[in-house]
Amino acid sequence: PRPRVWLSRPLFEDVTDRLDEHFDVLRTAVPEAGVYAPGQVASNLRDVDGALVTLVERIGATEIAGAARLRAVANVGVGYDNLDVPVLGSAGVLVTNTPDVLTETTADFGFALLMAAARRVTEAERWLREGQWQRWSFDTLLGADLHGSTLGILGMGRIGQGIARRALGFGMRVLYHNRSRLPEATERECRAEHVDFDALLANSDHLVLVLPYSPVTHHIIDAAALAKMKPTATLVNVARGGVVDELALADALANGRLAAAGLDVYEGEPRVRPELLALRNVVLAPHIASASRATRRAMVALAVDNLIAALGYGPRAGDPPTPVNADAVAGKITVKR
Ligand code: GLV
Ligand code: GLV
């Protein structure tokens, strides 16, 4: 019998239709709330060999408890904090993600949020649409310069490096903090200087968050961290909502302890805290940093390739392009053709 896979939501049909060449595909509709309840994820996983999911499908011990056949989960996204990878690995489930194909697009959007927040682009548009232009004065909507400023990057992976390379074109000085320092050649290429966390906070005119979410990075930007930043600074988050204490951020933005923020990610997506919605000095985007036409298709195509290969089919049978936990399931992939 053909393997069965769960496709958690409609993506690009002409891309996901390739799954039907090898598998019986269970297609489900996303509930009205925008996210599946844990019980719905569990029942969709119960009788399938693989799943292709997005970052709002959370899969851990509870969700796979009855999923005896499950062998592969292909995540559409580079981040995979929605998946309990150790639990999946010990159950023999291969996890894959979609790195690389979204690096430059996400770096572009990090810069878009940075410019919009620092130069108050969305606030200015709202002001104009509200009919306030006749109240214009010479100091209306003053923002912060990017050129000549210091950009801090927290989390210097592929996306962080993409942002650093863009910053060179703007004549910015680039500081970064990362668990491990980059090789010297990469530092030279990005002209980025490694500093400790406190120095990054204190010296950045603009700080961009691009680090993975984990228990270790949970609320790494909290009230204490925000207090170490310049009150004139801009904060941009294209990582995961959970790396920022949003109430502390809203408080700092409301009380002049931080100038502006640009957010693409939130704790509790698709809900956004009213404390953030109430502020003018924050640019809010609905998790679209990788959402260019070409890149979103490329992410789905990579996830489809991963799932087909992980279940032992296609030209890369047994050798999915971008596994996350290959070690945990080594030798367990059976090649079908
Ligand atoms: C999006 O947030 C991703 O992880 O790809
Ligand atoms: C993600 O791919 C990153 O390394 O930043």
Cβ of residue 78 lying under 6 Å from some atom of ligand 1: yes
What is the structure's pLDDT at 336?
60
* Ligand having the closest approach to the CA of 83: 1
Q: Helix (H, G, I), strand (E, B), or coil: what is residue 16?
A: helix
Residue in 263, 290, 300 to alter for ligand 1 test, most ligand atoms within 8 A of Cβ: 290
Q: Which is catalytic among the residues 18, 269, 275, 316?
A: 269
Rounded-to-integer distance, Cα 98 and Cα 52, Å:
12
- Nearest atom in ligand 1 to 265's CA: 2
* Ligand having the closest approach to the CA of 295: 1
Q: State phi, psi for 164 to the nearest 5 degrees.
A: -60, -45
Cβ of residue 58 lying under 6 Å from some atom of ligand 2: no
Interaxial angle between packed helices 103-118 and 158-169, expressed in degrees from 0 to 180 and rounded to the nearest 10: 50
Cβ of residue 50 lying under 6 Å from some atom of ligand 2: no
Active site residue 269: yes
Q: Which residues of 177-204 are buried (b: 16+ CB within 10 A; e: fewer)?
A: bbeeebeeeebeebebeebeeeebbebb
Rounded-to-integer distance, Cα 321 and Cα 89, Å:
17
Q: Whose CA is nearest to atom 5 of ligand 1?
A: 77
Q: Helix (H, G, I), strand (E, B), or coil: what is residue 43?
A: helix
Ligand 1 centre to CA of 128 (Å) is 33
- Nearest atom in ligand 2 to 159's CA: 5
pLDDT per residue, tens digit, the chain (337 aa), is 899 999 999 999 999 999 999 999 999 999 988 899 989 999 999 999 999 999 989 999 999 999 999 999 999 999 999 999 999 999 999 999 999 999 999 999 999 999 999 999 999 999 999 999 999 999 999 999 999 999 999 999 999 999 999 999 999 999 999 999 999 999 999 999 999 999 999 999 999 999 999 999 999 999 999 999 999 999 999 999 999 999 999 999 999 999 999 999 999 999 999 999 999 999 999 999 999 999 999 999 999 999 999 999 999 999 999 999 998 888 666 666 4
Do residues 295 and 102 touch, judged by C-beta distance below 8 A?
Answer: yes
Do residues 197 and 223 touch, judged by C-beta distance below 8 A?
Answer: no
What is the structure's pLDDT at 328?
83
**Could you please report the per-residue DSSP string of 124-177?**
HHHHHHTT-GGG--TTTT----STTSEEEEES-SHHHHHHHHHHHHTT-EEEEE
Rounded-to-integer distance, Cα 233 and Cα 261, Å:
9
Q: With CA atoms as reference, report the closest residue to 92 among 322, 319, 326, 337.
A: 326
> Starting from the edge strand earliest in sequence, which strands make up the sheet with 206-209, in order?
192-194, 173-177, 150-154, 206-209, 234-237, 260-263, 282-284
What is the structure's pLDDT at 334?
65
Q: Which residues of 212-251 are buried (b: 16+ CB within 10 A; e: fewer)?
A: ebeeebeebbeeebbeebbeebbbbbbbbbbbbbbebbbe
Q: With CA atoms as reference, report the closest residue to 50 among 290, 274, 334, 282.
A: 334
Fold classification of 4-99+293-329 (topology level): Rossmann fold (3.40.50)
Cβ of residue 11 lying under 6 Å from some atom of ligand 2: no
Active site residue 240: yes
Ligand 1 centre to CA of 136 (Å) is 40
In this structure, the number of other CB atoms found within 10 A of the CB of residue 95 comes to 24
- Nearest atom in ligand 2 to 100's CA: 2
Cβ of residue 77 lying under 6 Å from some atom of ligand 1: yes
* Structure tokens belonging to residue 113: 């949020």
* Structure tokens belonging to residue 29: 């509709």
Stretch (H or E) spanning 94:
strand 94-96
Domain boundaries defined on the chain: 4-99+293-329, 103-284
Fold classification of 103-284 (topology level): Rossmann fold (3.40.50)
Cβ of residue 290 lying under 6 Å from some atom of ligand 1: yes
Q: With CA atoms as reference, report the closest residue to 88 among 325, 332, 330, 288.
A: 325
Active site residue 104: no
Q: Which residues of 320-330 are buried (b: 16+ CB within 10 A; e: fewer)?
A: bbbbbbbebbe
Residue in 103, 211, 213 to alter for ligand 2 test, most ligand atoms within 8 A of Cβ: 103
Contacts of residue 315, defined as CB under 8 A and 6 or more positions apart, other chains included, come to none
The ipTM assigned to this model is: 0.76
* 103-284 matches 4-99+293-329 in CATH topology: yes
Ligand 2 centre to CA of 122 (Å) is 27
